[in-house]
Amino acid sequence: MKRLRDPAGTTLTPPGGDVQPFPELFDRADQFLGLGSELDGRLLFLYQYAVRNPAMTRAQLLQEGLTEEVVDLDLTELQDHGLIKPGDDPGTWEAVPPDVALTSVAGRLERRASDARALAYELSLTYQQARATYASDRHGIRSLGSLAELDNAVHDVVTNAERELRSVRNPSPRTSLCFRTDLDAHRRRLLSPDGHPLRSRCVYDARALALPTGEAVVLARAQAGEEARFLTPLPLSMTIADDEIVVLDLTSYDSSGVGSMVITERRLVTALSGIADTYWQLASPMSGPAIHELDSRHIKIVQLLAAGATDAAIADRMGISQRTVERRVRGLMEQLGVTTRFQAGVQAARRGWL
């Protein structure tokens, strides 16, 4: 004979002593109500009691040894689960037909199971991402998941640098976004956390000058003390602080920022610093006036110089006097920091003018 014990220790005996009409259901109470507690068994027992006793009353349950508090709680729980409903006579309760009541319970459990499966999938993604991030952090490489994360990473590196910042900037989506900020922000001198001026050097892809406000931004940063050189093409952008940390901007390949990274692994930082040094050595300096004053006519002259044209041929092609050509060529060579026409052609190639 099945017996249940309520939390107060009262032993409950089903009416008639046996529960043969519902033995399997009784044994699987936890599965049906899904609460996984002793209370489930008692609730299911009371539901069976209501099934076997039409117009069940509160008094009948009290006679079974339950306390008033437990009876009131259980009747409320049973009604909330959709297992009983008020009877036609006052003070009575009627069992909801099992094919309706337990089907409803099963539906709720199925929805709960579906929610659990969906939650399991979402948590699995979080689990994998968290451990991938943990593993990458342990090895000195942190992958970034958005453009906002990339911006925050660059900001943190710049504001915490103590000695020197080096940058490589190609015309990436992030560079374009950075160039849209207020020029006054670019004119501010970069300082270390203790207030000392930082040395700042940047190798720009000359194509970045074609971005909106590109020339104005480069000039503004030069006013803030940045040393600038130009080299074309550059495959990526990066920011290096004190040869200790690198933020790699790969938005040229994924504009969302996914895949960009923060690198602190010593050997990789050293390698990327070496690449930045090589770019710096290969790049050419350009003064502020050269950036501002160089127009399509000057670029055309440089292109003709690189092609081996004489001053007379350039004058004829441009429709200007040879003396004007000679004057402009001398000015361009001074601005490019070269002494021969061949060197001028090399610099023009490096800057993407050819």
4-104 topology per CATH: Arc Repressor Mutant, subunit A (1.10.10)
Distance separating the N- and C-terminal Cα atoms of the chain: 97
Quick one: pLDDT at residue 98?
86
The domain covering 141-287 belongs, at the CATH homologous superfamily level, to Endonuclease Chain A (3.30.870.10)
Q: Please report which helix (H) or strand (E) contains residue 33, including its range.
A: helix 29-33
Percent of the chain with pLDDT over 70: 79
d(Cα 258, Cα 211) in Å, to the nearest integer?
23
Please state the domain extents for the chain. Answer: 4-104, 141-287, 294-350
Whether pLDDT at 316 is above 70 = yes
d(Cα 334, Cα 39) in Å, to the nearest integer?
92
Class of domain 294-350: mainly alpha
Lowest mean pLDDT among 122-131, 137-146, 290-299, 329-338: 290-299
Q: Please report which helix (H) or strand (E) contains residue 94, including its range.
A: strand 92-95
Whether 178 contacts 247, CB under 8 Å:
no
Whether pLDDT at 250 is above 90 = yes
141-287 and 4-104 share a CATH fold: no
Whether pLDDT at 297 is above 70 = yes
* Mean of the per-residue pLDDT values of the chain: 79
Is beta strand 237-241 parallel, antiparallel or unpaired with respect to 164-169? antiparallel
d(Cα 117, Cα 112) in Å, to the nearest integer?
9
The predicted-structure confidence for 149-170, as pLDDT tens digits, reads as follows 999 999 999 999 999 999 999 9
d(Cα 324, Cα 311) in Å, to the nearest integer?
9
Cis peptide before 233 (omega within 30 of 0): yes
Whether 248 contacts 271, CB under 8 Å:
no
Whether pLDDT at 224 is above 70 = yes
Quick one: pLDDT at residue 36?
40
Instruction: Please report which confidence band the pLDDT of residue 286 belongs to, taking 50, 70 and 90 as the band edges.
Output: low
Quick one: pLDDT at residue 253?
93
Q: In sequence order, what are the residues at sequence separation of 6 or more whose Cβ sits closer than 8 angstroms to the Cβ of residue 320?
A: none
Whether pLDDT at 131 is above 50 = yes
Cα 229 versus chain centre, distance: 32
Position 340, amino acid: T
Quick one: pLDDT at residue 155?
92
- Residue 292's SS3 state is helix
